[in-house]
Structure 1
Amino acid sequence: MTGTTEFAGRVALVTGAASGIGASAARWLDAQGIEELVLVDIDRPALDRLGLACKARPFGGDVSDPSLWKLLEREVPRIDYAVLNAGIASNGEITDLDITAWRKTLSVNLDGMFLSLRTALRAMKKAESGAVVLTASVSGIKAAAGTAAYSASKAATIQLAKVAAAEAARYGVRVNAIAPGGVDTGIWDRAEWFAPL
């Protein structure tokens, strides 16, 4: 463990932590000496397999479920950092896209982002400090056929981050969004049209 004083004694929330970008973020924070990681993923058993050295508090559940966040707010009063990364992929041209698939993607990727962001910001507002990173996507900026639901959710995530940054600045909290390009993670295993960079 390399460790830095910036992360000593701090608590970080990571959603979508069981795999891909979320798992990488959790392992990186662990290597930097974070004291505690609050890990959220629908695949609860996979959180135990991350092999972290720090204290880890795993929560299994769907990020779009408000009851998950009510539980977390009761049990985790302090959050210094948050990597809000949970999401799902979907594909289909608009003319063929089923409303159920559309709503599922928006529910997880946008409702889940809102709920996790709200939880993190409530904790950080009390402390008057903190930093949040939301995982958006280049798909939220650049149009690609067949990605309507996913792209709409990620464009909304970018705007949500901007609004949150404007609101949170007055109590000393930074909010940013990242917009990765193609990353070969498990989220894309079922997307035949996806070609990693």
Structure 2
Amino acid sequence: MGGDGGAVNDFDGLVAAVTGGASGIGLATARLLAGRGAVVYALDLDPEVPEPLRGLRTDVADDASVRAALAELTAETGRLDVLVANAGIGAQGDVAAADDAEWLRVLDVNVVGVARVVRAALPHLRRSPSAAVVTTGSIAAHAGLPQRAVYSASKGAVHALTLAMAADHLREGVRFNAVAPGTADTPWVGRLLASAPDPVAERAALEARQPHGRLVAAEEVAAAIAHLASPLSGSTTGTVLAVDGGMHGLRLRPEP
């Protein structure tokens, strides 16, 4: 039985890399994949992670750093089967609030960062019998959320990039999918709430925005990522899986 309490060890013998794997959704994903049998490396600017996870300092905005981390990983393991391109940064404000430097900073991490990691991983993934890449998108790519112009643009690009990569590499045996979380209970959202004039009211507003009435748990997003990455999902590619309490697809009537 798997370390998650019920699943088979569908990742037995596989090696996974999770960018942004030392906190939030990334850490929850790394723990889940390890619990289901994978050898998991957390690629992070601050790679302090609990055993059995292995940490590698990685800056996804620096191509040399990405290549060095993947070279070290594959030198130790001889393979790479699963890549979770999860690292990202947030941004607040409307289209006029960010200067060019802010636009380039967010896109460099959230979009080009995905491309850098995938580009460096592809030679190894092509040799895997169970190659899978999962990117972390967002409900912000679908819904027009206020004060999220730069962030929304970056996540829309992640969704489009994921589908393009799925088409390009399908016949090489590499699957690409994305998750699109709603507002998740992560350290970044915690900092956002702490900076609000009324953190309690802001949290209530974020919870009410999602039809199921609460924030999404990092572990729920991790479970969706594991599903998409699993060898058991070999016919699933080119999809964006919403994990948002129904925010993207549902239109509930107001409660009486």
Do the structures match in fold with TM over 0.5? yes
Give CA-to-partner distance per residue, 1:131-159, whole Å, 9 cap, x none.
11100001011111211111111000001
Contact kept in structure 1, 2:58 and 2:66, CA below 8 Å: no
Q: How far did residue 128 of structure 1 move? A: 5.4
Distance 1:170 1:14 in 2: 24
- After superposition, the CA RMSD in angstroms is 1.9
Say whether 1:43 aligns with 2:42.
no
Distance 2:45 2:161 in 1: 23
Q: Which moved more, 1:74-83 or 1:166-175?
A: 74-83
What are the equivalent positions in structure 2 for 1:60-139 lying under 5 Å apart? 60-77=57-74, 78-127=79-128, 129-139=130-140
What are the equivalent positions in structure 2 for 1:17-28 lying under 5 Å apart? 17-28=21-32
Distance 2:18 2:70 in 1: 14
1:11 equivalent among 10, 15, 24: 15
Distance 1:133 1:93 in 2: 28
Contact kept in structure 2, 1:129 and 1:171, CA below 8 Å: no
Distance 1:64 1:165 in 2: 22
Q: Using structure 2 for the length normalisation, give the TM-score.
A: 0.69
> Size of the alignment, in residue pairs?
190
3-state secondary structure, aligned to 1:132: strand
Give CA-to-partner distance per residue, 1:147-175, whole Å, 9 cap, x none.
11111110000011001101111011111
Give the structure 1 partner of residue 2 of structure 2. 2
Q: How far did residue 5 of structure 1 move? A: 4.3
Say whether 1:150 aligns with 2:151.
yes
Give CA-to-partner distance per residue, 1:90-137, whole Å, 9 cap, x none.
101112222222221111111111111222322111335401110000
Distance 1:2 1:145 in 2: 41
Contact kept in structure 2, 1:30 and 1:52, CA below 8 Å: no
Question: Segments of 4+ in structure 1 off by > 6 A?
Answer: none
Kindly provide the amino acid, as one letter, of the partner of residue 96 in structure 1: A
Q: Which blocks of at least 5 consecutive residues in structure 1 are unaligned?
A: none
Select the structure of larger CA radius of gyration.
Answer: 2
* Aligned-residue identity in percent: 37
Distance 1:2 1:126 in 2: 26
Q: Which moved more, 1:134-143 or 1:5-14?
A: 5-14
Contact kept in structure 2, 1:13 and 1:83, CA below 8 Å: yes
Kindly provide the amino acid, as one letter, of the partner of residue 44 in structure 2: D
Contact kept in structure 1, 2:11 and 2:36, CA below 8 Å: yes
CA change 1:21–1:141 in 2 (3 A) is: same
Q: How far did residue 38 of structure 1 move? A: 1.7
Give CA-to-partner distance per residue, 1:3-39, whole Å, 9 cap, x none.
53431111001011111110100110111121x2121
Distance 2:94 2:122 in 1: 35
Contact kept in structure 2, 1:131 and 1:175, CA below 8 Å: yes
